[in-house]
């Protein structure tokens, strides 16, 4: 046991790294040797620890299993050819985790515990960060309620944990997405803006139905009229109509994506016109009809910028322009990737070198 930056560290006796096939990484099935953990009790966060990744023991009565009081984040670490490791805008994830925490009646966590803990974890598991194009170490910080109590109320005790997973691409091809007009993801006043596990649980059945129909993902529409576009399963959405990049505003029913914000900033830096406003599915279909729909794509940590090739709406599939014609989003993607790998300029100081 050692102690670094007030984090007590217990290392694995034997690494599992030799069992990992870096050439054939899937998404989210392999986990690095160590995890970071910190417990909240008596109104404060306690000692930070790094330990071997292992099963956790819990009482069947713990609150999270019954009322879903749990939130999470998603980030990535990338390694360049020199072996340097970078993370991207970690302060945004801390900020969003705390917004989620407040909405779910959970305690906030300091940037120090979250980011210093993560940095230390990445130093210890640095060999787990892939450096092949398209691969990365996915980082999953999460917090959950652990009171052994099945009354419905906010818990007094919580665990904050970070696990990491070497991953390949989330999608291997441009997407077929279906506009959802039966189910909803979030409504005004709900928890749509939070990265709360329950948002995802409620999306699984509609997503499975869409997949059974041959789509990769759903496009959620607003809860009142199923008219305005919200976001997709794990990504925010952008459309380019007549040269203008249009994206729904990050109000309180969609997740305020870090990639969304970064892509919009890059677009503005490149001199592209950007509009953050409500966009209806009718507007998108009309633009498709008159030839002004140039592009549609999703943005997210797991997917980076992923192009949409087909939009299914009310039983019709609308095919979008060929991917290689999508100059603006391809440029945004390459700039974003370069910044994340510490290559070239980082005008907004987004990357943090480990």
Choice between 37 and 219, CB closer to ligand PLP: 219
Rounded least distance, CB 170 to ligand PLP, Å = 10
Choice between 9 and 186, CB closer to ligand PLP: 186
Among 257, 311, 326, 333, binds ligand PLP (CB under 6 A): 257
Task: Choose the binding region for ligand PLP from 132-140, 210-218, 253-261, 281-289 (rule: CB under 6 A).
Answer: 253-261
Among 155, 259, 306, 329, binds ligand PLP (CB under 6 A): 259
255 binds ligand PLP (CB under 6 A): yes
Choice between 35 and 263, CB closer to ligand PLP: 263
Site map 203..232 versus ligand PLP, x via CB under 6 A: ----------------------------x-
301 binds ligand PLP (CB under 6 A): yes
Could you tell me if 68 and 197 are in contact, meaning their C-beta atoms sit under 8 angstroms apart? yes
Rounded least distance, CB 18 to ligand PLP, Å = 31
What does the block give as tokens for 15? Answer: 């690494």
Rounded least distance, CB 235 to ligand PLP, Å = 5
Choice between 48 and 98, CB closer to ligand PLP: 98
Rounded least distance, CB 92 to ligand PLP, Å = 7
| Contacting residues toward ligand PLP, per CB under 6 A | 74, 231, 234-236, 255, 257-260, 299-302
């Amino acid at each position: 046991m050692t102690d670094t930056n007030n984090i007590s560290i217990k290392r694995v006796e034997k690494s599992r790294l030799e069992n990992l096939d870096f050439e054939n990484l899937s998404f989210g099935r392999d986990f690095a040797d160590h995890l970071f953990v910190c417990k909240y009790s008596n109104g404060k966060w306690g000692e930070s620890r790094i330990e071997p990744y292992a099963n956790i023991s819990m009482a069947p009565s713990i609150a999270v299993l019954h009322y879903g009081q749990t939130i999470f984040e998603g980030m990535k670490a990338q390694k360049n050819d020199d072996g340097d490791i970078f993370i991207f805008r970690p302060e945004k994830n801390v900020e969003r985790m705390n917004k989620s925490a407040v909405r779910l009646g959970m305690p906030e966590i300091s940037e120090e515990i979250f980011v210093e803990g993560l940095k230390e974890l990445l130093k210890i598991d640095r060999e787990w960060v892939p450096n092949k194009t398209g691969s990365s170490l996915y980082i999953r910080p999460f917090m959950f309620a652990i009171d052994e109590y099945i009354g419905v109320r906010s818990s007094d005790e919580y665990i904050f944990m970070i696990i990491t997973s070497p991953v390949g691409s989330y999608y291997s091809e441009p997407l077929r997405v279906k506009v959802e007009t039966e189910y909803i993801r979030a409504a005004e006043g709900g928890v749509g803006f939070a990265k709360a596990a329950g948002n995802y649980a409620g999306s699984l059945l509609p997503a499975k139905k869409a997949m059974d129909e041959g789509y990769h993902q759903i496009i959620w529409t607003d809860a009142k009229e199923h008219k305005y576009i919200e976001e997709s399963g794990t990504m925010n959405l952008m459309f380019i109509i007549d040269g203008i990049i249009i994206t729904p505003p990050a109000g309180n029913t969609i997740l305020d994506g870090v990639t969304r914000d970064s892509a919009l900033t890059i677009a503005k830096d490149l001199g592209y016109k950007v509009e953050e406003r409500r966009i209806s599915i009718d507007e998108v279909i009309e633009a498709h009809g008159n030839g002004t729909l140039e592009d549609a794509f999703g943005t997210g940590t797991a997917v980076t910028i992923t192009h949409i090739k087909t939009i299914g709406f009310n039983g019709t599939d609308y095919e979008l322009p060929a991917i290689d014609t999508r100059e603006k989003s391809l440029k945004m993607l390459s700039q974003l990737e370069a910044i994340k790998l510490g290559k070239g300029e980082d005008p907004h100081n987004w990357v943090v070198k480990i």
